[in-house]
């Protein structure tokens, strides 16, 4: 699958905001393929931890939410400085350091089941996660151009989504063979992450990164229109953080770990394919229109899900499931179009900083979403989770409309 995505991308050429990467088309495709596989392994590690935490810590939903939120909070604090470091010192160095450190930290979780100690370790992992995310996004921006960056970012999102799902399946499989030996599962996950780091060290090559902007405020990397998208991006990532408690909420609906893994795995594959498809769509019709499709799909998804869970899950009708599936597929248009738009608008010398700002919003949204999801689950279950997500979406959309109006454009035009 990843080879097909990479094969659809040619080597970058000169564009308004960037410069060519010194690479042949074949080498560029190879670099993208390795990046996608490294991100798949990395997110598989994080997805594995996501499933293991509730069982390993033995605390309630809110406690799990606190432990999970430590990671994105640390990522939020470090994303902008790391973005600047990526601009000045290089993408590959940052990526390798992030992958190797997060693998060791994951294995160290096996040494303790103290919730506070695990939260601290998970928080430190957030610094490594920021290094991986920001450097990867910047390298993908370097290796693509405006006409194919959407599908490039779609491949990145496919790696993320499938990685999380693969991690959940991976952890479920490990537990199936080892029973309740959770420590071994964390060690196995760390080895998986370590393999990604070693592969990156061996095969990934540096892209052009010389920066002439020695000192600047991080927001300088974003223009007014790009800043206007920040609230809706924050809202989307907050909803993503809320969704991270779904494995626990599904278990409380009576589903076993194998059923949860299979359900999330199949759903993730469909959503990942949607990201690639809508990434290509954004290359054809423009980022703003595609982002609008995604936001509309997410809105329908949330309110349709609220209507569906008003009754017990066993009474959900096939027509309702069809609407939910279509809306979820359309919602996948949000991430590749937003990330491609940031890559289009950012200056070559500030690409790391631009991706750092967006990673900050991603991390903050996920941290708040983890807490909100855990609290909502404790207070009212799945229905309250969906209600909280709907409120977040409406508030973020309102803020984006206000900022876009202030910037003089309510829609984002195609960046050519």
Q: Tell me the C-alpha distance between 182 and 73, whole Å.
A: 25
Supply the pLDDT for residue 26: 66
Find tokens 């695990």 and name the residue.
118
Q: What is the pLDDT of residues 67-98, one digit of tens each?
A: 777 888 898 899 999 999 998 888 999 999 99
Backbone angles phi, psi at 15, to 5 degrees: -145, 170
Structural domain includes residue 16: no
Tell me if 318 is assigned to some domain.
Answer: yes
Give the model's pLDDT for residue 12. 47
CA dist list (Å): 370 to 50, 242, 261: 11, 5, 20
| Cα 2 → chain centroid | 17
- Residue 281 sits at the vertex; the CA angle it makes with 275 and 286, to the nearest 5 degrees, is 115
C-beta separation of 29 from 7 below 8 A: yes
Alpha-helical runs (H) found in 332-381: 334-345, 351-380
Residue 194 lies in a domain: yes
> Residue 328 — very low, low, confident or very high, per pLDDT cuts 50/70/90?
confident
Contact call for residues 228 and 404 (beta carbons, < 8 A):
yes
In a domain, 15, yes or no: no
- Select the more confidently predicted residue: 316 or 337: 337
- The token duo for 120 is 């601290």
Q: Worst-scoring range by mean pLDDT, 74-78, 218-222, 341-345? A: 218-222
Q: Which of 195, 32, 171, 170 is nearest to 100 (CA)?
A: 195
pLDDT of 14 higher than 70: no
CATH number at residue 42: 1.20.1250.20
In the chain, the number of structural domains is: 1
Q: Which residue has the higher pLDDT, 208 or 95?
A: 95
Distance of CA 336 to the CA centre of its chain: 10
Of residues 398 and 308, more confidently modeled: 398
Is there a domain that residue 17 lies in? no
| Mean pLDDT value across the chain | 80
With residue 167 as reference, give the H or E element that holds it.
helix 149-178
Is 57 within the bounds of a domain?
yes
pLDDT digits (tens, 9 = 90+) for 27-40: 778 888 888 988 88
Measured over the CA atoms of residue 35, residue 38, residue 40 and residue 42, the dihedral's sign is negative
Q: E-assigned strands of 172-249? A: none
Decide if 238 contacts 366 (C-beta within 8 A): yes
Q: How far apart are CA 86 and CA 147, in angstroms?
A: 24
Could you tell me the residue range of the domain that residue 121 belongs to?
A: 2-6+23-407
The mean pLDDT of 293-303, rounded to a whole number, is 90
Q: What percent of the chain has pLDDT over 70?
A: 81
Mean pLDDT value of segment 117-146: 91
Is 18 inside any structural domain?
no
95 lies in a domain? yes
Tokens encoding 378: 């404790």
**pLDDT tens readout for residues 240-294:** 777 766 655 555 555 555 566 566 667 777 888 999 999 999 999 999 899 999 9
The β-bridge partners of 18 are 15
What is the pLDDT, as a whole number, of residue 127?
93
Q: Is the dihedral of CA 82, 87, 88, 91 positive or negative?
A: positive
């Amino acid at each position: 699958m990843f080879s097909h995505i990479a094969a659809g991308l040619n080597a970058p050429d000169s564009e308004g905001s960037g410069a060519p990467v010194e690479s042949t088309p074949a080498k560029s495709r190879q670099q993208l393929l390795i990046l996608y596989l490294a991100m798949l392994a990395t997110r598989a590690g994080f997805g594995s931890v996501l499933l293991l935490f509730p069982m390993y810590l033995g605390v309630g939903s809110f406690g799990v939410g606190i432990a999970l939120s430590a990671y994105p909070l640390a990522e939020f604090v470090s994303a902008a400085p790391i973005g600047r470091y990526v601009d000045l010192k290089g993408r590959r160095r940052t990526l390798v350091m992030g992958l190797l450190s997060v693998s060791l930290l994951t294995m160290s979780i096996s040494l303790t089941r103290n919730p506070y100690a695990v939260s601290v370790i998970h928080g430190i992992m957030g610094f490594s996660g920021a290094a991986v995310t920001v450097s990867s996004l910047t390298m993908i921006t370097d290796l693509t151009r405006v006409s194919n960056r959407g599908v490039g970012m779609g491949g990145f999102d496919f790696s993320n989504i499938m990685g999380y799902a693969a991690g959940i399946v991976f952890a479920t499989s490990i537990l199936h063979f080892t029973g309740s030996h959770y420590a071994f599962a964390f060690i196995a996950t760390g080895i998986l992450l370590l393999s990604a780091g070693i592969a990156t060290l061996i095969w990934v090559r540096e892209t052009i990164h010389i920066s002439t902007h020695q000192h600047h405020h991080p927001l300088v990397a974003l223009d007014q229109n790009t800043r206007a998208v920040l609230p809706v991006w924050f809202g989307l990532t907050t909803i993503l953080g809320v969704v991270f408690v779904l494995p626990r909420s599904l278990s409380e609906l009576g589903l076993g770990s194998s059923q949860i893994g299979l359900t999330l795995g199949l759903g993730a594959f469909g959503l990942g394919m949607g990201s690639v498809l809508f990434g290509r769509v954004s290359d054809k019709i423009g980022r703003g229109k595609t982002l609008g499709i995604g936001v509309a799909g997410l809105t329908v998804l949330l309110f349709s899900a609220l209507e569906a869970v008003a009754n017990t899950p066993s009474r959900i009708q096939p027509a309702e499931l069809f609407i939910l599936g279509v809306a979820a597929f359309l919602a996948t248009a949000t991430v590749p179009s937003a990330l491609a738009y940031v890559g289009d608008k950012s200056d070559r010398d500030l690409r790391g900083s631009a991706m750092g700002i967006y990673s900050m919003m991603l991390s903050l949204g996920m941290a708040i979403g983890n807490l909100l999801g855990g609290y909502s689950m404790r207070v009212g279950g799945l229905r309250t989770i969906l209600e909280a997500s709907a409120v977040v979406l409406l508030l973020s959309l309102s803020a984006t409309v206000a900022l876009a109006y202030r910037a003089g454009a309510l829609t984002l035009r195609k960046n050519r």
